[in-house]
């Protein structure tokens, strides 16, 4: 399927398998536009056939150009801060960047700068993109690796749905203390807030469902450390840190959850993210190289995926 951005419009050349579909059917069932956004597009006359306003019941023919108003100019929403962000993937709809340690994904208070979102705002501005900064998921301040941003409301709505459906797959690499009993396993323990600590989480029968899959890649007897590959079925706050600590194997450098080592940050890296593209549905796979973990993880990310 051919599609391209033309100013504020997404132009789609109708493929043979969409012949006879109405404009409304394409928007609802092929592009998965949610109800609220569908209403906005209707009100702004934001769908055209070959550049003309026609009824949404109009049947489309092969080679027709369907234009959809998707890329309206927006405020960035955060202060721009100059930083060198590492872009792993970018097109008109999605941006994936590699987050360093010691940085929040987004501001937690008005006027805050030096978060990843501030750097993304600078990146958009320097590329001449008037796009609101919207993250699809978060990483802890001291966790490094791939973070996904969406560039327009439709991409946001679809990516949020994919996240809910667990179609966005994230693979992490963690360095933990000790030797795990099992080479592979699933940790299925609910996670809730810790009453005694405002930001800490703990395994709790009344908490939210949390499922973590792990596989031990390497045990380093010299340091009594294990390198573990982790995939999440759910995305709870501090999930990997809580679950591995619960097993008796806290992350190296994670003093909040039991590590006695005073590292600069916990050894946790979001190494890979895979997702169906929100518009084309093509599978996108992004691998995030280690940024500042060379002293923690031996080798490169590719060695472990």
Q: What is the pLDDT of residues 72-90, one digit of tens each?
A: 999 999 999 999 999 999 9
| CA atoms of 305 and 303, how far apart (whole Å) | 6
CA distances (Å), origin 106, targets 112, 237, 289: 9, 15, 21
pTM: 0.91
Strands 65-69 and 9-13 turn out to be: antiparallel
Please list the ranges in the chain whose pLDDT falls under 70: 293-295
What per-residue confidence (pLDDT) applies to 294?
Answer: 55
- Ordered by where they begin, the domains of the chain are 2-69 (3.10.290.10), 171-270 (3.30.2350.10)
From the list 64, 84, 91, 140, the catalytic residue is 140
Q: Above pLDDT 70, what percent of the chain? A: 98
Q: Two tokens at 123?
A: 């990146």
CA 186 to chain centre: 22
| CA atoms of 206 and 84, how far apart (whole Å) | 42
Task: Work out whether the CA dihedral 176, 178, 181, 182 comes out positive or negative.
Answer: positive
Is 140 catalytic? The answer is yes
């Amino acid at each position: 399927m051919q599609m391209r951005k033309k100013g504020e419009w997404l132009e789609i050349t109708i493929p043979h398998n969409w012949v006879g579909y109405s404009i409304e059917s394409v928007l609802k069932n092929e592009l998965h536009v949610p109800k609220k956004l569908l209403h906005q597009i209707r009100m702004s006359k934001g769908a055209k056939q070959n550049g003309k306003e026609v009824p949404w019941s109009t049947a489309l023919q092969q080679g027709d150009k369907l234009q959809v108003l998707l890329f309206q100019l927006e405020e960035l929403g955060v202060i721009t801060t100059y930083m060198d962000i590492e872009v792993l993937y970018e097109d008109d709809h999605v941006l994936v960047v590699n987050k360093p340690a010691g940085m929040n994904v987004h501001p937690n208070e008005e006027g805050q700068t030096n978060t990843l979102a501030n750097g993304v705002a600078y990146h958009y501005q320097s590329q001449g993109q008037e796009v609101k900064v919207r993250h699809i998921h978060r990483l802890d301040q001291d966790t490094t690796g791939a973070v996904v941003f969406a560039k327009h409301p439709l991409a946001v709505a679809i990516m949020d749905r994919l996240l809910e459906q667990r179609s966005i797959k994230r693979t992490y690499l963690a360095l933990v203390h000790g030797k795990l009993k099992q080479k592979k396993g699933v940790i299925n323990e609910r996670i809730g807030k810790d009453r005694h600590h405002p930001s800490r989480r703990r395994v709790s029968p009344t908490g939210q469902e949390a499922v973590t899959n792990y596989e031990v890649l390497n045990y380093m007897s010299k340091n009594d450390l294990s390198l573990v590959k982790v995939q999440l079925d759910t995305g709870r706050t501090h999930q990997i840190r809580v679950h591995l600590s619960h097993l008796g194997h806290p992350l190296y450098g994670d003093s909040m959850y039991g590590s006695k080592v005073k590292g600069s940050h916990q050894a946790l890296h979001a190494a890979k993210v895979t997702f169906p593209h929100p518009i084309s549905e093509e599978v996108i796979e992004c691998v995030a190289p280690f940024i500042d973990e060379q002293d923690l993880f031996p080798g490169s990310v590719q060695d472990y995926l």
